[in-house]
């Protein structure tokens, strides 16, 4: 179901006390400043060890939801150091980010592996936030659409209609992540419209209209309103600015 969404990807940041302080501040600010009901679904994705304690500080049954940053592709077993989708579900996670460019780049996650992770997440009842995005080199070569089409085809569009219903897509141009260099709202809109068109082609027009597509990459309190005002931009996946309660709250209030 398409909805406005702001998701905070905390990446490998915060200690437990910092994580607890951050979520408490965000919850209080949002409650105080939006009469308790922001016009948007808020997803917070802290590091694995903080899911449970952060989840405890999130008001239940409201706009706040818990997400993880990754999961393993197998349900359980001898995979030292890994975390399964069912484990995440059992500590209150509803969402899981998959295919983030940092996972693709630093941990060699390819489309085949991501396909398996998507299946594992869905089997455990998690809703995937599936990331796609191009490098600066790809953009400058004029291959952005070709690249995105391949990531969607090979990584995502193997899902059935029912499975795909559970997916949120995030467009994160790699050149904009953590660089302070945001895509312009026109660039974001152009790509989001393209992604929606690809969904319509792979599934149908109804599925395309029902999918939330988030923008990520140096999204902040100053540029969020302009980005979110684009017809095909349904919200943001926020990195750096999600670690500052004032900024993240302002982004949530940007709809």
- Interface with ligand 13P (CB under 6 A): 9, 100, 172, 177-178, 216-219, 237-241
Is 63 known to sit in a ligand binding site? Answer: no
Residue 100 annotated among the catalytic residues of the structure: yes
Q: CA distances (Å), 102 to each of 70, 87, 99, 110, 154, in order?
A: 11, 22, 8, 12, 18
- Tell me: is residue 223 an annotated ligand-binding position: no
Among candidate residues 100, 102, 109, 192, the one labeled active-site is 100
Q: How far apart are CA 113 and CA 229, in angstroms?
A: 34
CB-wise, 45 or 208, nearer to ligand 13P? 45
Asked whether residue 239 is marked as a ligand-binding residue, the answer is: yes
Residue 240 annotated in ligand binding: yes
Comparing CA positions, the residue from 40, 2, 45 lying closest to residue 167 is: 2
- Is 175 annotated to bind ligand? no
Nearest-5° angle of CA 183, CA 38, CA 217? Answer: 15
Residue 64 exposed, middle or buried by CB count within 10 Å (0-12, 13-18, 19+): buried
Q: Closest distance between ligand 13P and the C-beta of residue 65, in Å?
A: 16
Reference 139, options 178, 102, 106, 171; nearest CA is 171
140 is catalytic: no
As a whole number of angstroms, the distance between CA 50 and CA 8 comes to 14
Q: How far is the CB of 96 from ligand 13P (least distance, A)?
A: 13
For ligand 13P, the closer of residues 38 and 239 by Cβ is 239
The whole-angstrom separation of Cα 23 and Cα 29 is: 10
Least distance in angstroms from the C-beta of 86 to ligand 13P: 24
When the beta carbons of 94 and 197 are compared against ligand 13P, the nearer one is: 94
- Rank residues 172 and 232 by Cβ distance to ligand 13P and give the closer one: 172
Give the shortest CB-204-to-ligand 13P separation in angstroms. 29
Closest of 242, 255, 254, 249 to residue 31, by C-alpha: 249
Catalytic residue among 41, 102, 134, 172: 172
Catalytically active residues, by annotation: 100, 172
Q: What residue numbers does the annotated binding site for substrate cover?
A: 9-11, 178, 218, 239-240
Q: What residue numbers does the annotated binding site cover?
A: 9-11, 178, 218, 239-240
């Amino acid at each position: 179901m398409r909805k406005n969404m702001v998701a905070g990807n905390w990446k490998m940041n915060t200690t437990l006390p910092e994580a607890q302080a951050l979520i408490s501040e965000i919850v209080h600010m949002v409650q105080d400043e939006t009469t308790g009901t922001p016009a948007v679904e808020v997803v917070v994705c802290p590091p694995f060890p903080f899911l449970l304690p952060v989840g405890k500080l999130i008001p239940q049954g409201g706009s706040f939801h818990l997400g993880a940053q990754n999961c393993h592709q197998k349900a359980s077993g001898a995979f030292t150091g890994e975390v399964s989708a069912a484990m995440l579900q059992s500590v209150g996670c509803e969402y899981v980010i998959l295919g983030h460019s940092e996972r693709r780049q630093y941990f060699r996650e390819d489309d085949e592996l991501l396909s398996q992770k998507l299946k594992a997440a869905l089997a455990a009842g998690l809703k995937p936030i599936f990331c796609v995005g191009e490098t600066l080199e790809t953009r400058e070569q004029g291959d952005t659409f070709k690249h995105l089409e391949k990531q969607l085809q090979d990584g995502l569009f193997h899902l059935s209609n029912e499975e795909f219903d559970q997916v949120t897509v995030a467009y994160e141009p790699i050149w904009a992540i953590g660089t302070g260099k945001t895509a312009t709202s026109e660039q974001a809109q152009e790509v989001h419209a393209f992604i929606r068109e690809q969904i319509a082609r792979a599934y149908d027009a109804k599925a395309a209209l029902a999918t939330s597509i988030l923008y990520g990459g140096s999204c902040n309190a100053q540029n969020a309103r302009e980005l979110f005002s684009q017809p095909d931009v349904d919200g943001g996946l926020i990195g750096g600015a999600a670690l500052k309660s004032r900024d993240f709250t302002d982004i949530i209030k940007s709809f």
